[in-house]
Structure 1
Amino acid sequence: MKFSANLGFLWADLPLPQAIHAAKAAGFDAVECHWPFDVPPADVRAALQETGLTMLGLNTRRGDLDRGENGLAALPGREADARAAIDEALEYAVATDTQAVHVMAGFSGGPRAHRTFCDNLTYACEKAAANGITILIEPLNHYDAPGYFLTTAAQAAAIIHELGHSNLKLMFDCYHLQIMGGDLTRQFEKHLAIIGHIQFASVPDRGTPDHGELDYAHVFTAIDTLGWGLALGAEYKPKGATDTTLGWMKTLKHS
């Protein structure tokens, strides 16, 4: 198995370029991040070139954090802000050779939110296609993100099929999808053709993947058997220094 370090959680105490070097030293095969926009893209690009790692993905901005926003793309009336966030993320992705952008939906619901999300995703996909960038949408669970527009793989799949953009894919986050219904290996097989990236963490505490209610040795073997060859994103919250939490890699890398 190949693993990507999500630097939104891992080595979050380090500046992003240093975190990229730490991920390389720890044996990760790639990296990804959440919101890197305060770091000059040239600094990130340099760290990626120095380590030989690829940045797999980054997120669009969440919006107004003081108002509790967690994405803009499904918010009717906020189309201009949503598209500005998409433009910013795509520009950063191009500058750092990042492969995918996760367009965050936000807290919303109903037919207008669905239409708004679809329109903004079409905008994102058309702009991203010129640079070969994948647009990802990610269901979030209703405990961590109550009221979030996108909550299940089935809902995401319906949107992807409705829009028909070849560069629109599902972010298959095992942590969120286990909480929202489980049956992960069957879900993975069902949606394999539209999955663009996989992330993981233990359930229910979002910690290292060597404990909790999911047997990741089984999950990763099933994913591998179905032909997935890309790096899996370690998006867990380390308890303590990241370097002290990496024992799982020795076991699961060869599961």
Structure 2
Amino acid sequence: MKFSANLGFLWTDRPLPDAIRAAKAAGFDAVECHWPYEVPVEAVRAALEETGLPMLGLNTRRGDTDAGENGLAALPGREVDARAAIDEAIAYAAAIGAACVHVMAGFAKGPEADAVFVENLSYACKAAHGHGITVLIEPLNHYDAPGYYLATTSHARAVIEAVGAPNLKLMFDCYHVQLMEGDLTNRLKGLLPIVGHIQFAGVPDRGAPDRGEVNYAHMFKVIDALGWTAPLGAEYKPGGPTEDTLGWFTLTR
């Protein structure tokens, strides 16, 4: 198995370029991040080139975080801001060679939000296509993100079908899916054709994956048997020095 360190949670005690170097030293095969926009592109690109690690993806900005926003793409009336965030994310991703952009939906519901999200994703997919970038959408659980537009994989599948773009895929985060839907093995098997990235964390506390209610030793074997070869995203909260939480690597042996 190959693994990607999500630097939105891991090694947050150091600047992003140094976190990339730490991930390499720890044995990760790739990295991903959340919102790298305050870090100069040149510094991130240099760290990626130095380590040889690919950057798998990054998120669009959440919007006005002081007002509690958590994404813009499904918010009626915020289309200009949503598309500016999409343009920014794609430009940054292209500059550092990132493979994916996660377009964050935000807190919204109803038919108008449905239409806005589809339109903004269509825009994102067209803009990303020329750079060879995949657009991702991710259901978030309603414990951590109550009211988030996208909460289930069935809803995400419907959105992907409505947009109909070949470079729009599902971010299958085992943590969120387990909390909302469960049945990870069968659900992943059924969704595999539309999955663009897989992430994981311990359930229910989002800690390291070697504790909690999900048997990741089993899940990693399932994922491997399905023929998945891309790095899996370790997106968990270490609760201390990241190096002290990497014992879960033994689950893959």
TM-score normalised according to structure 1 size: 0.99
Please name the residue that 1:215 is paired with: 215
- For residues 222-252 of structure 1, give each alpha carbon's deviation from its aligned partner in whole angstroms, at most 9, with x where no partner exists: 1110111110000000021001111111x12
Please name the residue that 1:252 is paired with: 251
**In the alignment, is the contact (CA less than 8 A) between 2:57 and 2:99 conserved in 1?**
yes
Please name the residue that 2:195 is paired with: 195
Runs of 4+ in 1 over 2 A off after TM superposition: none
**In the alignment, is the contact (CA less than 8 A) between 2:220 and 2:252 conserved in 1?**
no
Counterpart AA for 2:82: A
Counterpart AA for 1:90: I
Give the aligned CA root-mean-square deviation in angstroms. 0.5
What SS does the aligned partner of 2:14 have? Answer: coil
Please name the residue that 1:180 is paired with: 180
Provide the rounded CA distance (Å) in 1 between the counterparts of 2:131 and 2:251: 34
Provide the rounded CA distance (Å) in 2 between the counterparts of 1:220 and 1:155: 25
What pairs up with 1:84-233 in 2 under 5 angstroms?
84-233=84-233
Provide the rounded CA distance (Å) in 2 between the counterparts of 1:112 and 1:196: 26
Please name the residue that 1:3 is paired with: 3
Provide the rounded CA distance (Å) in 2 between the counterparts of 1:66 and 1:231: 33
Provide the rounded CA distance (Å) in 1 between the counterparts of 2:61 and 2:128: 16
- For residues 164-209 of structure 1, give each alpha carbon's deviation from its aligned partner in whole angstroms, at most 9, with x where no partner exists: 1000000000000000010001110000000000000000000000
Deviation at 1:253? Answer: 2.7
How many positions carry a matched residue from both structures?
253
Counterpart AA for 2:126: E
Counterpart AA for 1:144: D
What SS does the aligned partner of 2:117 have? Answer: helix
Please name the residue that 1:18 is paired with: 18
- Percent identical residues: 69
Provide the rounded CA distance (Å) in 2 between the counterparts of 1:79 and 1:125: 15
Deviation at 1:21? Answer: 0.1
Provide the rounded CA distance (Å) in 1 between the counterparts of 2:188 and 2:202: 17
What SS does the aligned partner of 2:199 have? Answer: strand
**In the alignment, is the contact (CA less than 8 A) between 1:141 and 1:176 conserved in 2?**
yes
**In the alignment, is the contact (CA less than 8 A) between 2:197 and 2:232 conserved in 1?**
yes
**In the alignment, is the contact (CA less than 8 A) between 2:172 and 2:199 conserved in 1?**
yes
Provide the rounded CA distance (Å) in 2 between the counterparts of 1:253 and 1:87: 38
- For residues 61-82 of structure 1, give each alpha carbon's deviation from its aligned partner in whole angstroms, at most 9, with x where no partner exists: 0000110000000000000000
Provide the rounded CA distance (Å) in 1 between the counterparts of 2:248 and 2:235: 13
TM-score normalised according to structure 2 size: 0.99
Provide the rounded CA distance (Å) in 1 between the counterparts of 2:11 and 2:82: 29
Please name the residue that 1:48 is paired with: 48
| Gap regions ≥5 residues in structure 2 | none
- For residues 73-124 of structure 1, give each alpha carbon's deviation from its aligned partner in whole angstroms, at most 9, with x where no partner exists: 0000000000000000000001100000000000000010010000000000
**In the alignment, is the contact (CA less than 8 A) between 2:217 and 2:252 conserved in 1?**
no
Deviation at 1:127? Answer: 0.3
Provide the rounded CA distance (Å) in 1 between the counterparts of 2:247 and 2:221: 18
